[in-house]
């Protein structure tokens, strides 16, 4: 069984290696002379006097690199980059901010101010590229209410990410209290032509949730935000300044599809779910597994998702008797924080599987393609049918670790945490379930 764990690790690392953001941009963005082509979009660069770039997210540096390679040497870019890591090769004309995630930091606030100042100067002769990837919600933030401080914003984020709500609901609230999100960056550059290029870590069809949709029309409403606040009892967990703002009924509606800011606005998905599934599926098959992909459990509660995917794995085993099988799943599971331990939704998912797979020839891996899992230094974890026995021999209780939200500590002691460091990428979480006869 230890071999199954190692194979799961190999599939994960091979999948990461196959995701080349800069290379993908060069394949999907093409320039013929002064004309830039992206899907059905055609933009003549000669129609613009200024080119501006706003890059937000964990893949921001790679996306800027890819765009530079496509456009060079045609134009000189100016803009703002906000990412959780420093740039290896800073570009002239670009302002860089090493912002916070999963909570905004002072650089997140400064990046927001710099972006709004940049966009304010954009006119109808300006072409703005927005390069968006996962993590952008925290990496650029400024509250609508000027009375709120950075400490207030950080407390708000802690309340949101620990309340147990799915990411779509969390982002709905964020959009309605932020000066950045929910289409407000597009509105800030109202007259400019805007092109959003996205590396998505959100479900297909819900791209307005990516980085909380700063450049897209917002399909959610103030009524939706208020319903979520009530459902998850968030009001009393927010800082006093935000509670006062909410109580005064100051929450404005976000820009909708009919707003003039979206008239000259284009959106193009560079990388999404299939770009994660395909290399993972291929890596599993090359190792002798009959592989199947499933994203049914996206946004499910962690324990419900664990049970469902293990049932799917066992169904695969029954269909392909005597053969190795692999189930590949992506997306995020919801895992409310119930203790003060270290970990995240990926290690929590694996922890929820430990007792269910005990004694079976099964391995389960779950990890973030960004290399970060919650408040831990790991990307996720891996377990197999021997994990429970090994844990008990070391005095570790998976149920207790789960209650304390301490999955990273549990797997770290077993040397089964998966540490990659920040990958510069962020598609979605990847779950790999392997079984052999």
Ranked by mean pLDDT, the top range of 70-74, 200-204, 223-227 is 223-227
CB distance 353 to 387 below 8 Å: no
Give all domains of the chain, ordered by start, each with its CATH number.
Answer: 2-9+274-435 (3.40.1480.10), 20-271 (3.40.50.10180)
Say what the pLDDT of residue 211 is.
Answer: 81
Q: What is the mean pLDDT of residues 115-127?
A: 97
Say what the pLDDT of residue 111 is.
Answer: 98
Closest CA to 251 of 217, 228, 268: 228
Q: What is the pLDDT of residues 207-263, one digit of tens each?
A: 777 788 999 999 999 999 999 999 999 999 999 999 999 999 989 999 999 999 999
pTM metric for this prediction: 0.81
If you compute the radius of gyration of the chain from its CA atoms, what whole number of angstroms results? 22
Q: Cα angle vertex 349, ends 343, 355, to 5°?
A: 110
Q: What is the pLDDT of residues 277-332, one digit of tens each?
A: 889 999 999 999 999 998 888 879 999 999 999 999 999 999 999 999 999 998 88
Q: Please give the C-alpha separations between residue 425 and each of 202, 239, 357, in angstroms, as whole numbers.
A: 14, 32, 31
Say what the pLDDT of residue 436 is.
Answer: 95
In this structure, what token pair is assigned to residue 239?
A: 């800082």
Q: What is the pLDDT of residues 372-429, one digit of tens each?
A: 898 899 999 999 999 999 999 999 999 999 999 999 999 999 999 999 988 877 777 9
Say what the pLDDT of residue 201 is.
Answer: 63
Say what the pLDDT of residue 431 is.
Answer: 96
φ and ψ at residue 96, rounded to 5 degrees: -115, 140
Contacts by 69-75, CB closer than 8 A, 24 or more apart:
69/22, 69/25, 69/26, 70/25, 70/26, 70/29, 70/30, 70/31, 70/36, 71/31, 71/36, 71/45, 74/31, 74/34, 74/45, 75/45, 75/51
- C-alpha–C-alpha distance, residues 124 and 187, integer Å: 13
């Amino acid at each position: 069984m230890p071999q199954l764990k190692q194979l799961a690790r190999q599939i994960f690392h091979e999948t990461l290696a196959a995701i080349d953001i800069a290379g993908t941009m060069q394949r999907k963005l093409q320039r013929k002379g002064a004309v830039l082509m992206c899907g059905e979009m055609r933009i003549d660069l000669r129609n613009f006097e200024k080119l501006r770039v706003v890059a937000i997210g964990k893949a921001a540096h790679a996306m800027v690199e890819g765009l530079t390679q496509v456009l060079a040497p045609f134009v000189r870019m100016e803009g703002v980059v906000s990412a959780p890591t420093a740039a290896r090769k800073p570009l002239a004309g670009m302002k860089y901010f090493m912002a916070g995630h999963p909570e905004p930091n002072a650089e997140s606030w400064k990046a927001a101010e710099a972006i709004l100042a940049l966009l304010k100067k954009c006119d109808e002769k300006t072409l703005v590229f927005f390069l968006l990837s996962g993590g952008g919600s925290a990496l650029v933030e400024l509250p609508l209410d000027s009375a709120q401080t950075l400490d207030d914003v950080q407390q708000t984020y802690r309340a949101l990410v620990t309340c147990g709500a799915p990411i779509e609901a969390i982002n709905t609230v964020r959009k309605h209290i932020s000066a950045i999100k929910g289409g407000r960056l597009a509105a800030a550059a109202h007259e400019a032509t805007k092109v959003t290029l996205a590396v998505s870590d959100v479900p297909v069809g819900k791209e307005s949730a990516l980085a909380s949709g700063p450049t897209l029309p917002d399909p959610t409403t103030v009524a939706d935000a208020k319903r979520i606040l009530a459902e998850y009892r968030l009001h009393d967990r927010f800082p006093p300044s935000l509670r006062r703002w909410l109580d005064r009924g100051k929450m404005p509606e976000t820009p909708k599809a009919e707003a003039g800011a979206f008239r000259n606005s284009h959106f193009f998905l560079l990388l999404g779910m299939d770009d994660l599934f395909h290399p993972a599926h291929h890596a599993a098959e090359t190792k002798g597994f009959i592989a199947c992909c499933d994203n049914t459990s996206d946004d499910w509660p962690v324990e419900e998702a664990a049970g469902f995917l293990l049932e799917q794995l066992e169904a695969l085993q029954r269909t392909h008797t005597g053969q190795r099988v692999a189930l590949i799943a992506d997306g995020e599971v919801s895992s409310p924080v119930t203790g003060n331990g270290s970990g995240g939704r990926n290690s929590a998912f694996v922890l929820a599987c430990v007792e269910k797979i005990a004694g079976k020839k099964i391995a389960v891996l779950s990890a973030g393609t960004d290399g970060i899992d919650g408040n831990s230094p790991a990307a996720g974890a891996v377990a197999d049918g021997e994990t429970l026995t090994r844990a008990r021999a070391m005095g570790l209780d998976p149920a207790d670790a789960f209650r304390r939200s301490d999955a990273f500590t549990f797997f770290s002691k077993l040397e089964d945490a998966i540490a990659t460091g920040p990958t510069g990428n962020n598609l979605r979480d990847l779950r790999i379930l392997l079984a052999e006869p």
